Structure 1
Amino acid sequence: MKKIRLKGNVRDAALSVLLAVEKQQAYSNLILNETIDNYGLAAKDRGLLTELTYGTLQHQMTLDYNLDPYVKKKLETWVRILLRLSLYQLFYLDRVPDHAAIHEAVEIAKKRGHGGTASVVNGILRNVQRNGKRRMDEIEDPAERLAVATSHPVWLIRRWISQYGRETAEMMANENNQAPPQTIRVNMTRASVDQVIELLAEEGLQAVKSPRIPECLFVTGGQPAKTAVFRNGLITIQDESSMLPAYALQPEPGMTVLDMCAAPGGKTMHIAEKMHDRGKIIAMDLHPHKVKLIDEAAERLHHVIVESVAGDARKSAQQFGENRFDRILLDAPCSGLGVVRRKPDIKYAKEESDLAGLQVIQSELLDEAAKLLKPGGRLVYSTCTVDREENDGTVDRFLARHPEMVLVPTELPEPLDAGTAEPVQIFPHDFGGDGFFVAAFRKK
């Protein structure tokens, strides 16, 4: 492929992002910002770039299913991605005229390839446009049909069906293809919710209160991270579901708290706010460059009780001593299958075999947490996955190994609190937040 960058061309920029995701396993959310800078895109085109990128990733298997009858020979990777990108516009974007989407694809094919490539791209897209969407009932197997219709790997759909039933699997897969809401957490140590709503309005953003979490706001009309409200440490960008672990932890001013896998620090800062900046929080992460993110967050939010530490939390008892902490949060490394809406490339990058290795790490971290926790202390285990083995399975095995640990109620905000000593599984379709799991334990 010719190394050509069409400066300012939003569709060519989307193609570059998608190509990096496919060939280099780059994270779409990270490569997007870099691409915006490289292409010098105007502000008005940035939203379209995001929509084209995420939309094409979200519906990738469906798009391929519709392309396959017209592809007569093996295509170069970039050509296949260009066809997906163009088909996404034909099928899902009403405001983009078909002729414009096809014309743009042909022009990009000419510049990145040659006249023959452009002819192939034009022919395939014209055929799809003429014949319309392919019928899903051509796929006999129900799980495979749902997988293609919602663009989720077949193994994942089968796993969700076996764990939760077809109805939940289908609702979850469909929700994963919707755009996530933009939510923020108000730093209640520095401003009230009403004050933040007013300050955001002055900067042209609209914010409404969450009906579930008092310090959570839904924001539209702009990017909260670009505001003075953010720079001045009054808010944090955070999904509503990921605000739950700090509630479950029940931290109090003056306590000593460990956040075992803390970076980039969103939950650590939420705990500091719950403690009114009195006490001590040790925030660990394995990677030194990620620890810097914790320090930056603490400085921006003016939290003085956070001490960041780089190291392997599985060996933290050697460093801190046993029976040391009043509260421990383990927001564990996981498959991330609850955040597919925000990172659609996750569903294609994961293999079912990956999950077993993650469960080993999760169990090792929980075992270490049990040593570190004071008698009578509280441990919270949370993940951003919806996989039952990573969640309930890991909890059950932990309790079997540690008779000194007992499940206790999670004590979440009232609309979400089950009132029982059972872990809480949040699905993406429950209220539009990320898929999330929270379990709380007490050490006897």
Structure 2
Amino acid sequence: MSNTSAREATLHILDQIDKNQSYSNLLVNHAIKKFNIKGPDVGLLTELTYGTIQRKLTLDFYLKPFIKKKVEGWVRNLLRLSLYQMKYLDRVPERAAIHEAVEIAKKRGHKGIAGLVNGILRSIQRQGVPSLDEIADPVERLSVETSHPLWLVKRWSEQFGIEKTRAMCESNLLAPVQTARVNTLLTTREEVMEELKDAGIEAELSTLIPEGIHIKRGNIAHTDSYKKGYLSIQDESSMLVAYALNPQPGESVLDMCAAPGGKTTHIAQKMTNKGTIVALDLHPHKIKLIQENADRLKITSIEGHALDGRKAHEKFELQSFDRVLVDAPCSGLGVLRRKPDIKYAKKEQDLASLTSIQLALLDSAVDLLKPGGTLVYSTCTVDYEENNLTVSRLLEKNTALKQISIDSLPEAIQPLVKDKQLQVFPQDFGGDGFFIACFKKE
């Protein structure tokens, strides 16, 4: 199929995100199948989709002086998509991007719309886009320049200062590195590297995580190594959670918000598949996902239950677990590189309602933890309120808990631990933004 279909499919995805608040990563996979996108067009579709979403606010700033009247949502998305190619993709000639846009406009709209699209894009080609230097306020300029909502850039600037915020926002615009975890229950990292090389996958060893690898090129989900259970796709920041929990063979562990099971299976790996891991999630289909994951990895120590972690004390005996992990529902502001649509969907008030859920889960976890047991709280966000403040509130409420330093992390990560807790930023080593804190029950 021609590039036209890749661009049309991208437009279809952008419209779906606007209309249904669907996740881009799910829509991309669906569109590839639905529109039968093949070969290099798969890469083009992926890049156009993520790139246009990533830079939406910047593109809107550039388009604003050229759009004189109200346009339909799909027309605006078509203009964003075309301008993204003109501005950010060297390998797409401007005239090709404009020509394709006009053809799509004719097909989806009428001659008038095609003329409008052609006129706007040709004016931009002639005059160039407005300069970001026109924005006097540095916080607002950073918001537009890196396409992060103003409330978020303000919030982060107050929490971390503008320089750290800039580094984070710029980092969020980069394509994520695909990383995987080797299943040391079945194989070694060296063996997997050999297999992947034979399968035409370009990979290198992680310098941070002993069982981690970086995928440079190719899709490991289609390899024999993956099907045999030698590998799990998991971000390096997320791999640090099992290290922090430091579970021992034979223990009983509760993973309160476990789906899709990446951390759960890593915990099982650390326990050499000996002992019991109780994995909870609200939804039965997600428990099924954890089980499928465990089966593929030949792990037998996990038992899944569809249950709200806040009600876990109704099913399990109090003070019965050696270790409890609360990888809590959060704003996801650490994974904007992978899910760029999150940054536009979230509102500041969403964060406050999340902290009450996080605390309720932690309170339940404390009740289920044995005296002397370890509790780990983790999130894939960088927000001070969801992380540090939640920890302070937890300690105020539960006097039997003591925060302890996280000393079981891989050596290369240890310098990032401050005040007994780990806050990873996307710019630290290219992983997701992530937070981890550890507690002991007296």
Amino acid at match of 2:428: D
Which residue is equivalent to 2:279?
A: 283
* Larger displacement relative to structure 2 (215-224 or 347-356): 215-224
- Alpha-carbon spacing, 1:421–1:164, altered in 2? closer, same or farther (3 Å): closer
Structure 2 counterparts to residues 199-218 of structure 1, below 5 A: 199-218=195-214
Pairing partner for 1:262 from 258, 266, 275: 258
Superposed CA offset, 1:338-395 (max 9, x none): 0000000000000000000000000000000000000111010000000000000000
Q: Distance in 1 between matches of 2:176 and 2:130?
A: 28
Pairing partner for 1:219 from 215, 219, 222: 215
Pairing partner for 1:310 from 296, 306, 311: 306
- Alpha-carbon spacing, 1:421–1:442, altered in 2? closer, same or farther (3 Å): farther
Q: Secondary structure of 1:394's match?
A: helix
Q: Distance in 1 between matches of 2:201 and 2:299?
A: 26
Which residue is equivalent to 2:176?
A: 180
Between Structure 1 and Structure 2, how many residues are aligned? Answer: 440
* Larger displacement relative to structure 2 (129-138 or 154-163): 129-138
Structure 2 counterparts to residues 13-412 of structure 1, below 5 A: 13-411=9-407, 412=409
Contact 2:63 2:129 survives alignment (8 Å): no
Q: Distance in 2 between matches of 1:133 and 1:245?
A: 45
Amino acid at match of 2:46: T
Q: Distance in 2 between matches of 1:410 and 1:54?
A: 35
Amino acid at match of 1:162: E
Q: Distance in 2 between matches of 1:190 and 1:49?
A: 36
Which residue is equivalent to 2:413?
A: 416
Contact 1:251 1:274 survives alignment (8 Å): yes
Q: Distance in 2 between matches of 1:57 and 1:242?
A: 24
Amino acid at match of 1:257: V
Which residue is equivalent to 2:438?
A: 440
Superposed CA offset, 1:310-362 (max 9, x none): 01100101210210100111100000000000000000000000000000000
Q: Distance in 1 between matches of 2:145 and 2:3?
A: 34
Q: Distance in 2 between matches of 1:128 and 1:407?
A: 56
- Post-superposition offset of 1:157: 0.1
Q: Distance in 1 between matches of 2:356 and 2:149?
A: 23
- Post-superposition offset of 1:133: 2.7
- Post-superposition offset of 1:428: 0.1
- Post-superposition offset of 1:7: 9.9
Q: Secondary structure of 2:273's match?
A: coil
- Post-superposition offset of 1:226: 1.0
Q: Secondary structure of 2:315's match?
A: helix
- Post-superposition offset of 1:206: 1.6
Contact 1:12 1:108 survives alignment (8 Å): yes
Contact 2:4 2:100 survives alignment (8 Å): no
Contact 1:157 1:169 survives alignment (8 Å): yes
In structure 2, stretches of 5+ residues that fail to align are none
- Post-superposition offset of 1:30: 0.5
Report the TM-score, using the length of structure 2 for normalisation.
0.98
Q: Secondary structure of 1:72's match?
A: coil
Q: Distance in 1 between matches of 2:5 and 2:48?
A: 12
- Post-superposition offset of 1:43: 2.5
Amino acid at match of 2:437: A
- Post-superposition offset of 1:249: 0.2
- Post-superposition offset of 1:6: 9.5
In structure 1, stretches of 5+ residues that fail to align are none
- Post-superposition offset of 1:221: 2.0
Contact 1:287 1:310 survives alignment (8 Å): yes
- Post-superposition offset of 1:403: 1.0
* Larger displacement relative to structure 2 (395-404 or 41-50): 41-50
Identity between Structure 1 and Structure 2 (%)? 56
Report the TM-score, using the length of structure 1 for normalisation.
0.98
Amino acid at match of 2:351: L
Contact 2:254 2:324 survives alignment (8 Å): yes
Q: Distance in 2 between matches of 1:222 and 1:45?
A: 15
Amino acid at match of 2:93: P
Q: Secondary structure of 2:383's match?
A: coil
Q: Secondary structure of 1:413's match?
A: coil
Amino acid at match of 1:251: P
Amino acid at match of 2:434: F
